[in-house]
Amino acid sequence: MRITPSILARQAVAHINQNADAINESLERLGTGRRIRRASDDPTGTVLALRLQSDIALTDGDRRRVEQALPYLQAMDAALNQAIAILQRARELVLQASNDSLTTDQRKAIAEEMTTLRDEFLQVANTRVGDRYLFSGTAILTKPFVANLAGDVVYQGDGNQMKVTLSNDEQVPITLAGNAVFQSGEDVFAVLKDAINAMKAGDGETLRANLLPRLDASIQQILNTAASLGAQANRSERTVDTLLLQKQSFQLALSPVLDADVAEEVATYQLRQTTLQATLFAASRILPLSLVDFMA
Amino acid sequence: MALSVALQAALQSLLAHQAAIATAAHNTANAQNPNYSRQIAKLQAALPIPEPSLRDGMSFGQLGTGVTVGEIIRQFDALLADSLRIADGRVGYHETLVNGLERVEALMGEPSDSGIAALMTEFFEAWRNLSANPENMGARALVLERARTLLSRFNALQSQLAHEQDLSLRQMQEEVNALNRALAQVARLNEQIAASKAAGLQPNDLMDERDAVLRDIARLLPIQVSEQPNGSVMVLAGGHELVSANRFRSVKLAFDNNGKPIVVLEDTGDAIPLGEGVLAALQEFTSEVVNRLREKLQRLLDALANTINGLHQSGFGLDGTTGDPFFVLISGQWQVNPSLLNDPRRLAASQTGAVGDGTVAAAIARLMDKPLADLDGQTVSAFYRNLVGDLAARTNGTQNALTAFSEARRFLQDRRDAVSGVSIDEEMVDLMRFQQAYIAAARVLQVVDNLVSDLLTNLVR
């Protein structure tokens, strides 16, 4: 083949460009720290990266929300345990009061303590975290239990539960429907009211035969709720750990897709630089060669 | 007799080598002209004359009369020129398409922390956050703010893409104008070439110029070039005659029924098939790439807005309002319902109307990964990811094709230069050869002159 200077020049320019382009790419990757600078660098990797980035964001959001839910679960747990303690004290008082040999003054004193316990119980049932009542279902800003003039406690909330939804549709309840806890099966407030009335009336028989079993049933009812709530709290605490692990594994998967391998880039950069230098050297030696220089 | 023939031969040699040196000088001068084809002065022996001899009488002579330049040959390979034209069209097509695709890719800006994918995730996150905090005004404001950010990104992208379409249509118009100018130029060159050929001349440089113009045309759209016996060329595009002898037909930009830009003949209105070339790339970029992308984005946004509206209208705001759409169409663009922006309590997060109920907000948050019939059963996020992935794959494929076709064209250019290119060293060698021949002819002249003067001096004495 006839080789003309323009063929040599074209060849030299093409190779210089190729190497300069590769160096430019390496530099850009090193500068941005990213393997994928534009979607077309790696179409499949881009789709994967978008998926993983969104997964990481969702996992982060879920973890934040479960962490926000945990105080509610803990507060509900504490409130229910306090309610059980109050009812257990009430049971002792009912037992004491059912003794027929008590004096009227003694009964009155017991009835007074019982009244205090009922008020305490009402307070516990109206526990709030921040602005939210824990036992009014989804009517979180409404005080759930209010005593009317007749001394009956009326439920103001609704029968639903406020729930935190995670991205995998798992739901963590952060309130309870108070009527289901305190007024289904046994109406605990009615039990307490009846007990006070029976104490005042000195009706030991009713206290023994009627109120004691009802009080036991009330305690059992709240214990059941507390147990399932405790299980939920444990589960949610584990969920936080799981979500943290998940995020880490997503990040581990994302890194090789999106992040530049610095060591590899530096090696490529150096290799290409050497090649470019060689090309430039060859071009500078060969291109100026001409017969013209040797003609007298 | 023979002496005057020798004198004549020497003179012929001087003239012929002057022409050869001039040709070499012309070649050297055009060594860096990419469209130039090397010319060679074809030296051939001049017509011999009959020499009378006693033995053979006036038989047709063997006495040479020197050298003449038969013709100035243009080193040219028509097949290579054809291949180069096709290669130019392919490279032009892929180059223009890659340019456009890379611009669109930059507009999409994926993967990044600020692209639509990230904004969409943040938008749905805000809904999920609202579902856990439905009574919180901050959570409501966040949903509205992120909805506005997402919409403004969508709307900005749409208008940028529309701008891209405008730009490439304008470029297409300019290329069509350039095509018309080039066609006129070919017709004019045809006329000049035919005229000088008819006069027995060799219009090499005009032919180079015409080949350059033909390559410019072939970059825009594929053409078939056939040379006529009188030296002019006929240019056809998809069976339509564009240039014949000194006549050409101009073309113009038009739009077909689907609004797709096409190139038609001005006289008959017939559409010219664009094949692979810059015009085809611009056509494809506006009507296929950008248009389809815009349609898909609109489809995504419509599906998103309609589905969210359906859920939102079923829910209740903090103030008990219901039936409000979340997104409304204002002059053809989706916007966040202004009445929600005025009063975020109207945002319907609740299914029951209870303050602590975030069921509707949770359902909207779940939309991100819920297959929608409007999106052919794809989820919102998958639909967008695939859209980005398809565009990236297209760009990547076109880039690779461009590299391959550029390499192929470089190879063809090297082949062309091997035939038609000027090697300065070669011309220098030629110059030395012709110089020697010229000096030799001059020497011959001197010898003959000496002989004649010897003869005359001796005779006179």
Token pair, residue B283, equals 């056509």
Helix (H, G, I), strand (E, B) or coil at B201: coil
Per-residue model confidence (pLDDT) at position A102: 83
Question: Does B138 contact chain A (CB < 8 Å)?
Answer: no
- Cα(A67)–Cα(B330) distance, integer angstroms: 40
Residues of chain A numbered 123-142 and touching chain B (CB < 8 Å)? 131-132, 136-141
Residue B236, min C-alpha distance to chain A (Å): 31
**Residues of chain A falling short of pLDDT 70:** none
Question: Residue B89 pLDDT more than 60?
Answer: yes
Residues of chain A numbered 58-77 and touching chain B (CB < 8 Å)? 58, 61, 65, 68-69
Residue B103, min C-alpha distance to chain A (Å): 11
- Cα(A242)–Cα(B98) distance, integer angstroms: 45
Cα dihedral angle (B338, B342, B347, B353), rounded to 10 degrees?
Answer: -130
Question: Residue B58 pLDDT more than 70?
Answer: no
- Cα(A288)–Cα(A200) distance, integer angstroms: 120
Question: Does B392 contact chain A (CB < 8 Å)?
Answer: yes
Q: Verify whether the Cβ–Cβ distance B111 to A36 is below 8 Å.
A: yes
Q: CA nearest B121: which of A51, A38, A240, A43?
A: A51
Residue A53, min C-alpha distance to chain B (Å): 8
Q: CA nearest B122: which of A164, A46, A63, A58?
A: A58
For residue A131, the chain B residues in CB contact (below 8 A) are: 135
Say yes or no: ipTM exceeds 0.85. Answer: yes
Per-residue model confidence (pLDDT) at position A295: 82
Confidence class of residue B56 from pLDDT cuts 50, 70 and 90?
low
Q: How many CB atoms lie within 10 A of CB B274?
A: 23
Residue A121, min C-alpha distance to chain B (Å): 24
Q: Which of B97, B113, B121 to mutate to test the interface with A (most CBs of A within 10 A)?
A: B121
Q: Verify whether the Cβ–Cβ distance A10 to B414 is below 8 Å.
A: yes
Helix (H, G, I), strand (E, B) or coil at A161: coil
A31 CB-near residues (< 8 Å, 6+ apart): none
Per-residue model confidence (pLDDT) at position B61: 62
With 0-12 CB in 10 A as exposed, 13-18 as middle and 19+ as buried, what is B47?
A: exposed
Q: Verify whether the Cβ–Cβ distance A7 to B391 is below 8 Å.
A: no
Q: Which of A6, A137, A291 sits opposite B417 (nearest CB)?
A: A6
Unique residue bearing structure tokens 């509206």? B309
- Which helix (H) or strand (E) element contains residue A109? helix A104-125
Q: Verify whether the Cβ–Cβ distance B392 to A167 is below 8 Å.
A: no
Question: Residue B111 pLDDT more than 90?
Answer: no
- When the pLDDT of each residue in chain B is averaged and rounded to a whole number, the result is 93
Q: Verify whether the Cβ–Cβ distance A40 to B105 is below 8 Å.
A: yes
Per-residue model confidence (pLDDT) at position B195: 95
Unique residue bearing structure tokens 């012709």? B434
Confidence class of residue B147 from pLDDT cuts 50, 70 and 90?
very high
Q: What is the pLDDT of residues B160-195, one digit of tens each?
A: 999 999 999 999 999 999 999 999 999 999 999 999
Q: What is the pLDDT of residues B387-442, one digit of tens each?
A: 999 999 999 999 999 999 999 999 999 999 999 999 999 999 999 999 999 999 99
Give the DSSP letter string of B211-270.
Answer: HHHHHHHHHHS--EEEE-TTS-EEEEETTEEEEETTEE--EEEEE-TTS-EEEEETTT-P
- Cα(B134)–Cα(B120) distance, integer angstroms: 20
Question: Residue B1 pLDDT more than 60?
Answer: no
Residue A110, min C-alpha distance to chain B (Å): 40
Residues of chain A numbered 77-106 and touching chain B (CB < 8 Å)? none
Per-residue model confidence (pLDDT) at position B41: 94
Helix (H, G, I), strand (E, B) or coil at B189: helix
- Cα(B387)–Cα(B154) distance, integer angstroms: 14
Q: What is the pLDDT of residues B243-302, one digit of tens each?
A: 999 999 999 999 999 889 999 999 999 999 999 999 999 999 999 999 999 999 999 999
Q: What is the pLDDT of residues B330-357, one digit of tens each?
A: 988 999 999 999 999 999 999 998 999 9
Q: Which of A4, A6, A43 sits opposite B392 (nearest CB)?
A: A43
Query: pTM for this one?
Result: 0.87
Question: Does B417 contact chain A (CB < 8 Å)?
Answer: yes
For residue B128, the chain A residues in CB contact (below 8 A) are: 61, 65, 165, 167
Confidence class of residue B60 from pLDDT cuts 50, 70 and 90?
low
For residue A254, the chain B residues in CB contact (below 8 A) are: none
Question: Does B106 contact chain A (CB < 8 Å)?
Answer: yes
Per-residue model confidence (pLDDT) at position B110: 87
- Cα(A278)–Cα(B281) distance, integer angstroms: 37
Q: Verify whether the Cβ–Cβ distance B135 to A140 is below 8 Å.
A: yes
Q: How many CB atoms lie within 10 A of CB B72?
A: 17
Q: Verify whether the Cβ–Cβ distance A165 to B354 is below 8 Å.
A: no
For residue A65, the chain B residues in CB contact (below 8 A) are: 128-129, 132
Per-residue model confidence (pLDDT) at position A202: 84
- Cα(B118)–Cα(B385) distance, integer angstroms: 11
Per-residue model confidence (pLDDT) at position B113: 82
Question: Does A46 contact chain B (CB < 8 Å)?
Answer: yes
Question: Does B409 contact chain A (CB < 8 Å)?
Answer: no
- Cα(B173)–Cα(B177) distance, integer angstroms: 6
- Cα(A127)–Cα(A81) distance, integer angstroms: 13
* Average pLDDT, integer, range B145-154: 95
What is the DSSP secondary structure assignment for residue B273, as one 8-state letter? P
The 10 Å CB-count burial string (b at 16+, else e) for B208-234 is bbbbbbbbbbbbbbbbebeeeeebbbb
For chain B, how far is it from start to end, CA to CA, in angstroms? 22
